Amino acid sequence: MTRVALIAHDEEKPEMIDLARAYEDLLSTFELVGTGTTGKRVIEETGLTVERKQSGPLGGDLMIGAEVAEDRLDGVVFLRDPLAAQAHEPDISALLRICDVHDTPLATTRSSAEFLLDGLARAEE
């Protein structure tokens, strides 16, 4: 089964919820994993099932990176705020590096996330 990680900086969490709602039918066929707060919001606001890791400040992004390193993820959606990320929010650099090393697609914007999800859907057909 396709397994996708969901991470969002605070300012991008509403966009993640909107994306999850728009792709709810597809995402319900995937195994989803997310950082603590993002995962909680997706669960509460969509009804999707998400395996929650620690929140970003407590290492949830690193836990997701470990899953990439173990080839347990097919893609990562990390909606980040490139202009106003806070110090407590996950840093994308380590996650980007491990995704590149393992050739795991990582989307950082809504439009790239849509391409990633659509591509994973086609790969499942």
Total length of the chain? 125
**Residue 83 banded pLDDT, cuts 50, 70, 90:** confident
Close Cβ partners of 63 (under 8 Å, ≥ 6 residues apart): 53, 54
pLDDT, tens digit, 9 for 90 and up, residues 35-81: 999 999 999 999 999 999 999 889 999 999 999 999 999 999 999 88
Q: Which CATH number is 46's domain given?
A: 3.40.50.1380
Q: Which of 61, 91, 100, 118 is catalytic?
A: 61
The annotation status of 112 as a binding-site residue, yes or no, is: no
pLDDT at 113: 98
Look at the pTM and tell me if it is higher than 0.75: yes
18 is an active site residue:
no
Q: Helix, strand or coil for residue 120?
A: helix
The annotation status of 75 as a binding-site residue, yes or no, is: no
Domain count across the chain: 1
The annotation status of 9 as a binding-site residue, yes or no, is: yes
The annotation status of 53 as a binding-site residue, yes or no, is: no
Cβ–Cβ < 8 Å for 12, 81: yes
Range of the domain at 88: 3-124
pLDDT at 88: 57
**Residue 11 vs residue 32, higher pLDDT:** 32
3-state secondary structure 37-77: HHHHHHHHHHCCCEEECCCHHHCHHHHHHHHHHCCCCCEEE
